[in-house]
Amino acid sequence: MNIFHDDRIVLTLDAGGTNFVFSAMQRGQEIVPPITRPSQAHDLDLCLKNILEGFQAIKDQLPADPVAISFSFPGPADYKNGVIGSLPNLPAFRHAGGVALGPMLEDYFQLPTFIANDGDLFTYGESIAGILPRVNDKLQARGVAKTYSNLLGVTLGTGFGGGVVVNGQLCQGDNSSGGEIWLTRNFRDTRLIAEEGACIRGLMRFYSDLTGAPTTLSPKDIYEVAQGQQEGNRAAALQAFDNMAAVIAESLCNAITLIDGIIVIGGGLSGAYPLLAPRIVSYMSGTIAMADGTVLPRLVSKVYDLENPESCEAFLDYSQNEVTVPFSGRKVRHNLDKRIAIGTTHVGTNTAIALGAYAIALKNLSTNSEQNILLNRFI
């Protein structure tokens, strides 16, 4: 599926706690100026009316009829059926039994509606138009007969989000709960969830604990202190990022052991990738032990950093992976040297989410089944 050569139009939404931003995509590109409306987070009726009006305002600008609505929305939710649960950042949705947001949009616009969480859509977008094609294009250019089709995506920001793509397919889980990496155990404090050490508040808490005083510094400030670009407790800032890297790395190890593929990092804190990545790779390249004292590599595969030129070159170099066939002299390449890689988003987190939403809609639609999608949603 090439989303950049598809003329179908899909309505999209970037749903934040304060504002909703509506748009539309065609051929993998935004085709109208976005429209922003307040979320009305404390009033369900006003919130839902704003969603309807926002999509209608975009629809009225389009050169042709849209074929679907597709967007990310916070959870918990039954995404497959379009029902949103109780949301901490949108109090209007704290209703027993959930809010049937997807079916509401389908009834109003008579369009198939697809909703997913941002971690899923970010990862799916990166698998189609981001890090996976980037890696595979580089390997193909080297004449390496290997293709990566599995991707673990994580977003670092106000939370610690995740998504999983296996063999090119988004894995949302049987209960719309795939990729919930935020709930893995915190390596630095096993009482806590990983998100408490792998997000904005976690970084700020690490820095405050290390300096012994509450901090008013933003993550960007702490990053600049760590890089020597701003005055402050540099040792504490560096250690805060190291602590965060350890939490992220252990969660990534647990997840990638089951998935075996490429890892992509997005979100607001991905701007600190140059500081985080070396420590993450170092932790992931460490060891783990058996009860008898036997020491094993933490992962089966060796981890490479795609954003580090030397490490990326080593990842791409398969020239030594050959073995001679017994009794013939013929040489064959092999993958006994197992490799995975970690990198940051190049298309941008928001763009990847939008592309993921667009691709999800197109994948689920076909010329003769669009109405069936609407009917089957209620069977």
> In whole angstroms, how far apart are CA 161 and each of 135, 182, 258?
22, 6, 17
CA–CA dist 273, 219 (Å, integer)? 12
Structure tokens belonging to residue 56: 């209608």
Q: What pLDDT tens digit does each residue of the chain (379 aa) get?
A: 689 999 999 999 988 778 899 999 999 999 999 999 998 888 999 999 999 999 999 999 999 999 999 999 988 899 999 999 988 778 888 876 799 999 999 999 999 999 999 999 999 999 999 999 999 999 999 988 889 999 999 999 989 999 999 999 999 888 888 899 999 999 999 999 999 999 999 999 999 999 999 889 999 999 999 999 999 999 999 999 999 999 999 999 999 999 999 999 999 999 999 999 999 999 999 999 999 999 999 999 999 999 999 999 999 998 777 889 999 989 887 777 899 999 999 999 999 999 999 999 999 996 445 545 554 554 3
Instruction: Give kind and range of the element (H or E) at residue 121.
Output: helix 118-129
The amino acid that residue 68 corresponds to is: A
Nearest CA among 227, 196, 200 for reference residue 215: 200
- Contacts made by residues 134-143, CB under 8 angstroms, sequence distance 24+: 134/306, 134/343, 134/346, 135/262, 135/306, 135/341, 135/343, 138/316, 139/316, 139/318, 142/316, 142/317, 142/318
CA–CA dist 300, 284 (Å, integer)? 10
Entry pTM = 0.91
> In whole angstroms, how far apart are CA 207 and each of 171, 290, 292?
35, 34, 37
Q: For residue 196, how far is the Cα from the chain centroid?
A: 18
CA–CA dist 103, 41 (Å, integer)? 20
